[in-house]
Structure 1
């Protein structure tokens, strides 16, 4: 008798948690938590989400835009210094450093006209990407 009771106890110990989890999951999925939204509500929510995603820029894009504005207000040297500081503060931006520095090089040529004037600000920030951006504008 003792042996049979122990076997039943072990079986219950294995099966009972599975049964409880499954019944709880089924109970939660069958409860109507909210009313079903109409098609227009779903479309409106989708449109709002899409417009929010367009408005939110990636951090590297925000940094690039800010640095180009700084270049326009001050000079390319200040923007390159800020770029180096931003990459030092947030290392995840390092993978975008070269493209941002190239964009700064192009903006410097647009601001100063001749490429030789923009080259004066060249620094070893992100290798020679700034100089590459200046050269691309020739």
Structure 2
């Protein structure tokens, strides 16, 4: 994974996902977000989660959180350029579950961030994202 910073879209795979969202018709964008989150939540907790799936789920969660009260807008040039339609509220809880899976024991992404020396900062960013989503989802 080519990574240049700790932002939710600051890696090749998440940036490509942003491009995929722009390429999709407006009516299909929510389904792409749902799929990205479901791929991660659909894996068993004992199955090892690949970092590519995890970074896409984090990017999708960031886009869902951006539409929540208190959510930070996604302003990076690596995210989608096209605005997303209003997203279904049930995506918030799904995004919380996906983030919980991403930071779990059987996930490659926390290991990679831990090895980078920026693991604490990355984990804090994920925790902030999760907090916004959980509050909005009432979880």
- TM-score bracket, normalised by the shorter chain, equals 0.3 to 0.5
Instruction: Compare the two structures and name the one with the higher helix fraction.
Output: 1
Give the TM-score, by structure 2 length: 0.32
The higher radius of gyration belongs to 1
